[in-house]
Structure 1
Amino acid sequence: MLPTHPPAPDLATRYREAGHWLDRTVGSHLADLRQRRPGGVAVVDGDRRFTFAEVDRAATRLAAALHEDGVAAGDVVSFQLPNSAEAVIAYQAVMKLGAVANPIVPIYRGRELRFILRQARSRAVLIPGTYRGFDYPAMYADLLDDLPDLRRVVVVDEGSPTQSDRFTTWSALIDGASPDAAAIVGALPEPDPDDVCLLLYTSGTTADPKGALHTHNSLVFENNSMIQLFDLGENDVIFNPSPVTHVTGVNCALTLPFVLGIPVVLQGVWEPFEALDRITATRASFMIFSTPFLQGLLDAAESTDRQTPSIRYIVCGGADIPDELTRRATRRLGTVTRMYGATEGPSVTCGTLADTEDVRLRSDGRILDPTEVIVVDGSGNTAGTDVVGEVLWRGPDTFLGYLDPALNDAAFTADGYFRTGDLARFDGAGAIHIEGRIKDIINRSGEKISTHEVENLLSEHPAVAEVAVVAGPDPTTGERGCAFVVTTDSETLTLDDVRRFLTAHEVATQKIPESIFVVDSLPKTASGKIQKFALRDWTQDRNTIPQQMAGVSVRASYER
């Protein structure tokens, strides 16, 4: 059983008595749809269509095969898959087993995977063969010696070579299982709705990812709350380009379609014009994604002068959103609203059509009842209107805690509020405005990147004497990594040098800085602490040199 940080007993009782926790498992919804809407379209994946009955049959066969291969209730099953029908089926199979789904973003490489799979003690992992030109089986072959708990690597793509007897293919695993899959799965005990069913790693604010634990109750509540908040019904169609291995994709692609019984349209590789075509062809009406997706879709619609009358809501979050972008997108695409949340609590504040345009487009929304949100000042007292402080929240969709229990005491208050590390203020209308982060991270297209990790690795480069990495503005991704480097013996360090060095250390591409500034020295306090805020300010306006940067010369710059 995975360790947890359970909510205070009075909170659990309150959520049940109020009907927020329904004590239903995630997998029970597909079981109902198998009877109620067997022929209804569940997943649209390019030219492929899968009904609810077909997803159920495929998930049952995969669950039986994994069970016969040694996966038991409570075991962790990881999958590092792109947006595809196979990812949906894998998730539903894990729910049937009473196991724990562990989606891993496809961009992660050896460094991150060793940490996650070892800490989670994953029993099986499902991977693509080649995705976006990268050979996943070859990478996993190099990892196996470090992962004694990993019994099976399942390669989804047919024809992919297997590297050892711990590898198999999707079809070989299923074909080798007992033909009576339904009986095998039907005999398994029903999970407890309070059991952990999702282990989702946040790329967070520390060098190592943090594994957040969600239960059936927290996930089912989260998705039912979206149905109520946006008045979703049987005529809606979800469009999901967000990775199914992020919390947004877990909800919108893997869970919500089955809670409500409506289709999800997947897009595996983001391409704005293709997204526009898919939305139009399927009459997609609801979607949640981050700023780069919204910008790309808007640009495609404006450049082709196309309308999207089917869109009822575009919910945008995960990265800073310019007010002008939300205004233009609402005018062209459909109602856009901003949402604030995290892996640890997916939807905390949001605006809807019931709110004013100012709330929807120029704030991060109102508190979503019954979630409780407070902003506290440096003394821990509730901050007044328009006073910036740290955001704390608790609610029925708040995670149980991190897989590493040592992280939980610092993450929660004694009365169950999650300390987010985000800075915000409430305005006079009760809308929240996210102002920044206490934690030193780069928010690249919603992907949180630890500057500390990148600094530690770059400091090992023989040409680096000192380094500081900060977030700088980027017109496409919102933020980019900017590395300020003092080199040894007046050596230079180019962007290509940094890319080669970090790639050799098996770092995900998104973590590699996109701007390198070679400087004579770094701005510091009298005690020697690097003044990162001065570096951040300089990246915002390079024509204005903050006083703290005075005397610091940028000798060379290399940028993508």
Structure 2
Amino acid sequence: MWPTRPPTPDLAHSYRESGHWRDQPIGHYLTRAASLFPDAVAVIDGDTRLTFADVDRDATTLAAALHSAGIGADDVVSFQLPNRAEAVIVYQAIMKLGAVANPIVPIYRGRELRFILGQARTSAVFIPATYRGFDYAAMYDQLLDDLPHLKKIVILGDRGERGTDERMTTWTELLDSAPAEAAKVVAALPHPDPDQVCLLLYTSGTTADPKGALHSHNTLVFENLSMIELFGLNENDVIFNPSPVTHVTGVNCALTLPFLLGAPVVLHDQWDPVAALDKISRDDASFMIFSTPFLQGLLDAAIAEGRPTPSIRYIVCGGADMPDDLTRRATERLGTVVRMYGATEGPSVTAGNRWDTAQLRTRTDGRVLAPTEVIIVAPSERPVEPGSVGEVLWRGPDTFLGYLDPSLNAAAFTEDGFFRSGDLARFDDTGAIHIEGRIKDIINRSGEKISTHEVENLLSEHPAVSEVAVVAGPDATTGERGCAFVVTHHAQDLTLEDVHEFLTGREVAKQKIPESVFVVDVLPKTASGKIQKFALRDWTRNRTDLPPQMVGVSLHAAHEK
């Protein structure tokens, strides 16, 4: 059924022989945790605290109810849920069924949902009745005619007058429909094959068209076990998760890792850095993975509040470019901060940890996490010399199995199974990697290639700059020009002369200095904090029409040559 591109037989055999693939489905780890320490806290959601036994019981009941509704192995069950305890229950119930989990970020609306739910042929979907003032039940009611394969839409909350279709039900109604002996029903289900697809996760939208990435039980279990080993995690740790549970980071940290680790996760929804500090302090959170905007906000709040964070052992940052200076300052103030490089297609490819030198931790994107293999290649796909920039290719036990659209796989993989990331990087003489941006993030100015990542890293040190993104825009003379989109502190202006003076003081080549500076109130981002540069590039080509991704982006000032 699934158009997978699994590792070669030799690679798969080596992953098993070395113990990297454990050949256990994800549901096994919840069952084990509930048996070994049933009364230990697994999920903290505000005042709600669920033990491992609670999660196992509720997930079993939900799995039995879905099975009775005709949802089974290989069916896709989607959920467009915020960071709530119910999302954990839904995910674990899907794993018990042997079905395929399809998390969908809450910001998506009708256009994206028709594409994702249609391509995935989703059988059931879980949604909030309302969230952040938006009526999800009413939206799905409008979508039903376009999605005839949907058997159930399950609403968390009161349906009210919305949703008259018989396929719509509520969370409570579905759980009440479960058979009396739910545990026996679920125990009788076929044991999921650890190599089968269990997660369909659409890329988070830094390109215009999302792509559905397929992961197996083995790839996800390895990913989480490798995090436990790399960071020395144990049952005394407390995971803090502000990342959306519908993003690969949330799927791992909130929905999967607690049950392999035997430690609780603290869910944080609707990002507020002061509220995040409160939760970290209250629950002694020690480990967290999130993107740069979360780190900047947490650092600013800790400084403003004068709050120490003694429980934090690790803050792992990935998913968005991180200025070197932010890594250093956050480590000094919050706790050990390390960078991680990965993607939906392979969540952790490189990283640092606390035993690495300060140089590696704060000024590189870490080292390759064996047994993952990384090569950096020229356009010919021949490896480049050390220190030279090229495209990052990788393969490893947590590399995804391919895209749901099989036509995308030939371009995504080499013949020997390396994934073509589309990212640019170089290795330094210590073996650490430096991510230089995306292939599309190169500015071709009169034939000279300029890395936007380098310019962003330098501009982020300007005292007026809160966030910055640099993209290539059209130029009648040079072909392309550098266009800097800047969010400033306190909405102050930043002129082209300011940028020129600052970068000249950093001894930057004149050709690298942006020729357009746009001061905006926000940058267009995905739910996980990645800047949607394609939207910025599109706008530079047609400045009259804002693409959907840039709704809400107000232009305060424009300075151009």
- Corresponding residue for residue 466 of structure 2: none
1:243–1:316 Cα change, 3 Å = same
Is residue 2:419 matched to residue 1:418? yes
Describe the superposition over 1:209-267 as per-residue Cα deviations: whole angstroms up to 9, x where unpaired.
10000000000000000000000011000000000000000000000000111000000
Are the aligned partners of 1:473 and 1:479 in contact in 2 as well (CA < 8 Å)?
no
Are the aligned partners of 1:244 and 1:250 in contact in 2 as well (CA < 8 Å)?
yes
SS at match of 2:250: helix
SS at match of 2:111: helix
Describe the superposition over 1:40-59 as per-residue Cα deviations: whole angstroms up to 9, x where unpaired.
00000001100000011110
- Corresponding residue for residue 116 of structure 1: 116
- Corresponding residue for residue 551 of structure 2: 512
Give the counterpart letter for 1:514 in structure 2: V
> 2-side partners of 1:397 and 1:470: how far apart?
36
SS at match of 1:401: coil
Is residue 2:240 matched to residue 1:184? no
Are the aligned partners of 1:80 and 1:126 in contact in 2 as well (CA < 8 Å)?
yes
1:517–1:402 Cα change, 3 Å = farther
- Corresponding residue for residue 58 of structure 2: 58
Are the aligned partners of 2:78 and 2:124 in contact in 1 as well (CA < 8 Å)?
yes
1:439–1:515 Cα change, 3 Å = farther
> 2-side partners of 1:136 and 1:21: how far apart?
39
User: Structure 1: which 5+ residue stretches go unaligned?
Assistant: 444-448, 453-467, 488-492, 519-538, 546-560
TM-score by length of 2: 0.83
- Corresponding residue for residue 348 of structure 1: 349
Matches within 5 A, 1:290-369: 290-369=291-370
Give the counterpart letter for 1:302 in structure 2: I
Deviation of residue 194 (structure 1)? Answer: 0.3
> 1-side partners of 2:204 and 2:95: how far apart?
24
- Corresponding residue for residue 427 of structure 1: 428
Give the counterpart letter for 2:123 in structure 1: R
Are the aligned partners of 1:162 and 1:168 in contact in 2 as well (CA < 8 Å)?
no
Are the aligned partners of 2:391 and 2:424 in contact in 1 as well (CA < 8 Å)?
yes
- Corresponding residue for residue 446 of structure 2: none
Is residue 2:102 matched to residue 1:86? no
SS at match of 1:10: helix
SS at match of 1:303: helix
1:287–1:206 Cα change, 3 Å = closer
1:515–1:386 Cα change, 3 Å = farther
Are the aligned partners of 1:338 and 1:364 in contact in 2 as well (CA < 8 Å)?
yes
Matches within 5 A, 1:131-150: 131-150=131-150
Superposed CA RMSD: 2.5
> 1-side partners of 2:380 and 2:540: how far apart?
33
Matches within 5 A, 1:143-158: 143-158=143-158
1:149–1:256 Cα change, 3 Å = same
Describe the superposition over 1:140-164 as per-residue Cα deviations: whole angstroms up to 9, x where unpaired.
1111111111111000123554411
1:471–1:96 Cα change, 3 Å = farther
> 1-side partners of 2:4 and 2:222: how far apart?
19
Are the aligned partners of 1:59 and 1:90 in contact in 2 as well (CA < 8 Å)?
yes
1:332–1:161 Cα change, 3 Å = farther
Matches within 5 A, 1:26-45: 26-45=26-45
SS at match of 1:13: helix
- Corresponding residue for residue 223 of structure 1: 224
Deviation of residue 440 (structure 1)? Answer: 6.3
1:333–1:193 Cα change, 3 Å = same
- Corresponding residue for residue 533 of structure 1: none
> 1-side partners of 2:207 and 2:264: how far apart?
37
> 1-side partners of 2:326 and 2:160: how far apart?
43
Deviation of residue 206 (structure 1)? Answer: 4.6
Aligned length: 486
> 2-side partners of 1:440 and 1:121: how far apart?
34
- Corresponding residue for residue 472 of structure 1: 485
SS at match of 1:402: coil
SS at match of 2:540: strand
SS at match of 1:144: helix
Are the aligned partners of 1:112 and 1:208 in contact in 2 as well (CA < 8 Å)?
no
Are the aligned partners of 1:2 and 1:74 in contact in 2 as well (CA < 8 Å)?
no
Are the aligned partners of 1:485 and 1:517 in contact in 2 as well (CA < 8 Å)?
no
- Corresponding residue for residue 126 of structure 1: 126
Are the aligned partners of 2:137 and 2:159 in contact in 1 as well (CA < 8 Å)?
no
- Corresponding residue for residue 447 of structure 2: none
1:63–1:302 Cα change, 3 Å = same
> 2-side partners of 1:378 and 1:167: how far apart?
51
- Corresponding residue for residue 503 of structure 2: none
Give the counterpart letter for 1:260 in structure 2: L
Give the counterpart letter for 1:355 in structure 2: D
Are the aligned partners of 1:471 and 1:479 in contact in 2 as well (CA < 8 Å)?
no
Deviation of residue 400 (structure 1)? Answer: 0.3
Describe the superposition over 1:382-422 as per-residue Cα deviations: whole angstroms up to 9, x where unpaired.
11122110000000000000001110000000000000000
Deviation of residue 177 (structure 1)? Answer: 2.1
